[in-house]
Amino acid sequence: MESVTTGPDNGLAATDIPRLQQQYGKNIFRPAHNRTIVNVLADIFKEPMMLLLIACALLYFLLGNVTEGWMMLIAMLLVAAVSLYQDVKSARALDALSQYTAPLATVIRDGGEITIPAEELVPGDTLLLSEGAMVPADGTILSAHDLTVNESITTGESLPVLKDAHTGTNQLYQGTTINSGKCTAIITATGNHTRLGRLGIQIVSAPLQRTRLQAQVQKAVQRLALFGAAAFVMIFVVSFIKSHDLAGSLLTGLTLAMAAIPEEIPVAFSSFMALGAYYLSRQGIISRQPQIIEHLGAVSVLCLDKTGTITENRMKVVMVYDQHTGMLTDLEQQPLPEGSQLLYYAALASERHPFDHMEQAILAAFQQQRNVAPPLPEMVHEYPLEGQPPMMTHVYPHADGMLAVAKGAPEHVLQVCRLDNAATAVLQQHLTAMSARGYRILGVATAICPDGALPDNQDDFNWQFEGLVSLYDPPRQQAAALIGWLYAAGIRVKMITGDYPATALHIAAKIGMQINGHAVTGEEVMALNGAALQDMVKQTVIFARMFPEAKLKVISALKDSGEVVAMTGDGVNDGPALKAAHIGIAMGKKGAELARQAADLVITDDDLDKIPEAIRQGRKIYSNLKKAVRYITGIHIPIIFTAIVPLLMGWKYPFIFTPIHIIFLELIMGPTSSIFFEREPVEARDNGTAGVLNRRGLFSREELVVTLVQGGAITVCVLLLYYYFMQRASVETTRTIVFTLLLIANTFLTFVNRSFTENITRTIRYKNNLAAAVFLSSLVFLAVIHFIPAVRELFGLVPISLQAFGLCLLAAFVAVAWFEIYKVLKMRGGKKTVI
């Protein structure tokens, strides 16, 4: 750093500030690449699925169907608009959650104290901080008084750490909080150059991952598109060889290609994701990337941060040992015995209006004992927190002179009390028992100064030991219910925390986690690699004393072993792991800004109950999208084979469909797949272990076979009636029969595919306000094309007899209804796997 005009005592000179701001820039975090609207639109329109939609629209225009082409383009733009809106809305919501950049800071410049915007700070500024202040930049402590700092935002450690001006304990980091005391520090780094800023660059520069379902859908669409292209070439060549009609052959081939290309699948995918993200945003769950929601449905492991996520990030007095009564009392089970003065003395040794979480907890516990303790007097003298380990003392007026009350590390308190060996041995037993439960323990002592003369050093009082007070950060009330729900849903749970192993194990047991063995530390994680690491992360449930690199290594190892990993966190130290997980979930209310930037989902109110809701929504999306894709595949198969088989077999009417028939069938399938199935409720099976999704592919082999058989059954019935009427009726009559059969079969397939396990007698009761609309619209359209002459002529159809219509109805029922019998037999056979 260049020299400046004045030193730390007087602060920087005003004349130096412009040069330093030019050199270092503003004290704000700047991502390496800002994401603009143009970037968002480019990402949307370069998606292979969106490019496929554009290609389909061009096909409509090439076929001369301008109206249908514009309809496809409009639909495509609507999908893009929804994605753009969601991206912008998510970004704005995350910006609104920002709370870890202090708006103002007090510095010394030109020898005087001034308050400036925190973004105006520069290296070399002399910064003044006191209890409760957010540290706005990295710095080195010049002087400190009774200073402790809450660094949980960077280390994950829930307990404050002691800071002073000595090397090794004199560093302050942006985003941390002054827990107690005050200090003067000189700023050493601002903006992207802070520890927080450097970690932020690492977090936000990592590319967004393509979701597993995106890859699976893209792969399925590409295969079907290649089949459509091959079918187009084959049909065009065969038709041209037979007819020598270039235009007619081209039209025939393009019509078949339109039937084969499943443009409904990417539309359904985009709609499901955008609508799912919108629904979650209304529940207080902000999605940074709508497509990531489907990963929630496939989560197999959820890694939970402890401090601020599982726990409340506040301290609570839970157990005390009173030396005078000789009783160890668990305050969660029973109150202090009458006459105990221990909490009164602990309160006297605390600040009257504390910011420190432990002192807040002590005063809260004391308030509950007010009926047995006198009110607190006014303090007349204070000995600051000092010593290794530290202790602090407050002095009050007393009838016998002066009353000194101390609290601090038990080792220090026991040392100054000079207890005999027997008493010390008893206390060590209690200390061991409390430590094993992960508690933070404070010793309390009192002393009387009869003459009122106070010693220079607090250790020199004639101390009498009063007892032990233990505290811990309690779990959130809903944490145990969340853990139970996750286990019931087939999701394994792991805890990854920067806290001590004993604390982590105690909290895990408290909330009902299925602990397997001991806690593994970050150092142990870093010492392993390869298969040994993967085996360890699979078996271990509790990871303690974890730092950012170790957390990242655990998440990466779980992913490498084939797990779909979600992780929650709220601190900067969680950022890399949140980014690496398949889906990162950040706490929005108390979480760090960079944790929110690294996460895929942000829970705005830190309510853990939102996690099951998000997972349910992810499973609903995955399940309903599979229903839509299986429906689309099932109805495309008969359309494709109805176009191919007659031409290849040399039938009397080789090709009875024109583009208008295909276009209309596509317009029916599109809304049905992307709107009707999206509205389907979550089935009960999707909330239990059966809802753990197939992570190897979009369909299992059995699911694919059943879907192909569904399409094949409809194809057989269509071709049988095609061939039968071709021998006895005109091409118009044959077309009417085939088209009517496909329309009815489409309606039946829609309702049959509402569930792959439950019979239609149950699914008919599913709450979907579009079910009646789909059924009635099908009836209306069948009536329109059969009874309105102008529409019949548009589709090239003719009136048919009631018997012929009944035959179409029967054939469609037979082609589809077998699946209902299949589901009943599967359930009776006891095989209840998802099919």
From start to end of 459-529, where are the E strands?
Answer: 464-472, 492-496, 520-521
User: Is residue 212 very low, low, confident or very high in pLDDT (cuts 50, 70, 90)?
Assistant: low
Residue 229: predicted pLDDT:
73
Query: Distance between CA atoms of 70 and 77, rounded to whole angstroms?
Result: 10
Contacts of 87 (CB under 8 A, 6+ apart): 40, 289, 290
Residue 414: predicted pLDDT:
93
Tokens of 660: 């208008």
Cβ(473)–Cβ(158) below 8 Å: yes
Backbone angles phi, psi at 52, to 5 degrees: -65, -40
Residue 299: predicted pLDDT:
86
Tokens of 354: 């504390």
Q: Is the pLDDT of residue 784 over 80?
A: yes
Closest CA to 44 of 160, 208, 282: 208
Query: Distance between CA atoms of 144 and 182, rounded to whole angstroms?
Result: 6
Is 470 strand, coil or helix?
strand
Domains of the chain in start order, with CATH, are 14-29+106-135+138-189 (2.70.150.10), 268-284+617-639+659-828 (1.20.1110.10), 287-312+477-612 (3.40.50.1000), 316-472 (3.40.1110.10)
- pLDDT tens digits along 363-378: 989 988 765 556 788 8
- pLDDT tens digits along 8-65: 568 888 888 999 988 888 887 665 555 566 777 776 676 544 654 576 567 557 667 6
Closest CA to 149 of 166, 168, 171, 127: 171
Longest dimension (CA), the chain: 124
- pLDDT tens digits along 432-476: 888 777 788 999 999 999 887 899 999 999 999 999 999 988 888
Query: Distance between CA atoms of 718 and 725, rounded to whole angstroms?
Result: 11
Query: Distance between CA atoms of 770 and 775, rounded to whole angstroms?
Result: 9
CA-CA-CA-CA dihedral for 119, 125, 130, 134, to nearest 10: 30
Q: Is the pLDDT of residue 195 over 90?
A: no
- The single-letter DSSP state of residue 302 is E
Q: Is the pLDDT of residue 98 over 50?
A: no
Closest CA to 764 of 640, 649, 681: 681
Question: How big is the chain by its Cα radius of gyration, in Å?
Answer: 35
Residue 695: predicted pLDDT:
43
Give CA angle at 232 (227, 238), nearest 5°. Answer: 120
Q: Given CA atoms 203, 208, 211, 215 in this order, what sign does their dihedral have? A: negative
User: Is residue 102 very low, low, confident or very high in pLDDT (cuts 50, 70, 90)?
Assistant: very low
Residue 629: predicted pLDDT:
83
Average pLDDT score over the chain: 80
136-157 exposure pattern, b = at least 16 Cβ within 10 A, e = fewer: bbbbebeebebbbbbbbbbbbb
Residue 71: predicted pLDDT:
57
- pLDDT tens digits along 287-329: 766 667 667 777 889 999 887 778 877 788 999 999 988 888 9
User: Is residue 832 very low, low, confident or very high in pLDDT (cuts 50, 70, 90)?
Assistant: very low
Closest CA to 291 of 311, 310, 268, 314: 268
Residue 627: predicted pLDDT:
85
Residue 621: predicted pLDDT:
79
Contacts of 230 (CB under 8 A, 6+ apart): none
Residue 775: predicted pLDDT:
86
Q: Is the pLDDT of residue 142 over 90?
A: yes
Residue 604: predicted pLDDT:
80
Residue 100: predicted pLDDT:
36
Q: Is the pLDDT of residue 685 over 70?
A: no
177-189 vs 391-398, strand pairing mode: unpaired
Residue 323: predicted pLDDT:
92
What percent of the chain shows pLDDT beyond 70?
77
Residue with tokens 């078949």: 256
